[in-house]
Structure 1
Amino acid sequence: GSRCDIQDLQLKALKTEPPKPYTEGTLVKAMKTIAKLVKDPRLAQKLKETTGIGTEATRAGTIQSLIDRGSLIKKGRALRATEAAFSLIDAVPPAVADPGTTAIWEQALTMIEQGTLTLDDFIARQSSWITRLVDQYKATTLSIK
């Protein structure tokens, strides 16, 4: 390796700011625009076409359900995930928590509409996938605080 001399150095003491907590409104918006977080461009496009996770009619109810179950708590307008929510997120298989999975299901539903996939085939695929996940995680101990 070559050796070189440093000619100038600037040290700046900066602090990062934590992200602002979600409000119900910003969480609904994040659910609509979840495609931004999906790496596969085809899956991201599918999520854009289907306007993200949930529907206009279900998003607010989903958030309220998470509050009612104790997965989210409200502090003023801010929503915070509880320890139980973090434990559950850590415990579920990554594919279950991946928004790309929603896009894959949406693609399959489009194929059913187009007649290129039967509902029975879709259900069989889902059943097989769920069975594999359950078998894989049977030995796992889940501790939700």
Structure 2
Amino acid sequence: MAFIFKIIGKEYINDILPLVKKLNADKISEAVLKGRITEMFTQNYECAGVFDGDTLIGVCGLWYCTRHYSGRSVEPDHVFIAEAYRGNGLGDRFFSWIYEYVAKKGYESVELNTYVNNSASHKFYYNQGFTILGYHFFKKL
């Protein structure tokens, strides 16, 4: 299959939402999620997409920053590939495209968070060469 990898704009928000919603189950309403993603597009954020023809089948947010310990860094966020497309190396191809894309923009490191209970993602990221540097702490205000 010939997949297309590209940066997509906020005009795709109605296509992005159903994919990101699956990551959050029923924890966040679609209206809140849409508002947050709309706001994200105004920050140091881009959304990468995987298309099968004209159909968006995968997304990955990219947050850009500079950190004292890693330099110019990008953080993949809300990575999701539609279930029907998993298990055939598409995630590897997507991340290879992301690495090349952000390296061309001058970024030198990639770091990310993944949910503790998402063991499939842990295996994927280990296979991508990621290591665990610490813990992600969260406190709701």
Structure with more relative contact order (C-alpha pairs < 8 Å, separation 6 or more): 1
Indicate the structure with greater helix content. Answer: 1
TM-score strictly above 0.5: no
Decide which structure has the larger Cα Rg and report it: 1
Using the size of structure 1 for normalisation, the TM-score is 0.30
Indicate the structure with greater strand content. Answer: 2
Using the size of structure 2 for normalisation, the TM-score is 0.30
